[in-house]
């Protein structure tokens, strides 16, 4: 199975909104084409310890909330993307997709 990974770097309001919109729109696309929906993988990268860092006081459990409502989105916190290599993000802590 060839997997397609969609990654958004930046977990502020814009990055989270973009990820949610893309995941919502694309989640049923493979199935409608007669393909396995598990072919899509979604990753959200935050250089902060949380997502939506400027709203952290308003949304203290934003990561847990997003994960419970959209479990197909993998959230990478404390993962500052420092390089793209062959379209794959690499983080300062050595993580890569």
Q: What is the pLDDT of residues 63-95, one digit of tens each?
A: 566 665 666 889 999 999 999 888 789 999 888
Residue 66 lies in a domain: yes
Residue 72 lies in a domain: yes
- Distance of alpha carbon 59 from alpha carbon 81, whole angstroms: 24
Q: What is the percent of the chain where pLDDT is above 90?
A: 35
- Beta-carbon neighbour count of residue 41 at 10 Å? 14
CA dihedral 57, 13, 93, 74 (to 10 degrees): 100
- Distance of alpha carbon 15 from alpha carbon 21, whole angstroms: 10
Which CATH number do you get for residue 58?
3.50.50.60
Residue 80 lies in a domain: yes
Residue 83 lies in a domain: yes
Under a CB-based contact definition with an 8 Å cutoff, are residues 42 and 19 in contact? yes
pLDDT band at 39 (very low <50, low <70, confident <90, very high): confident
Residue 21 lies in a domain: yes
Domain count for the chain? 1
At 52, list the tokens. 């939506």
At 49, list the tokens. 């310890």
Residue 53 lies in a domain: yes
Residue 81 lies in a domain: yes
Q: Which domain holds residue 62?
A: 4-91
Residue 96 lies in a domain: no
């Amino acid at each position: 199975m060839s997997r397609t990974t969609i990654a958004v770097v930046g977990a502020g309001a814009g990055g989270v909104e973009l990820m949610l919109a893309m995941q919502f729109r694309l989640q049923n696309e493979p199935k409608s084409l007669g393909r396995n929906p598990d072919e899509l993988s979604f990753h959200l990268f935050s250089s902060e310890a949380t997502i939506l860092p400027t709203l952290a006081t308003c949304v203290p459990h934003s990561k847990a909330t997003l994960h419970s409502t959209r479990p197909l989105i993998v959230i990478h916190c404390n993962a500052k993307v420092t390089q793209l290599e062959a379209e794959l993000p690499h983080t300062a802590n050595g993580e890569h997709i």
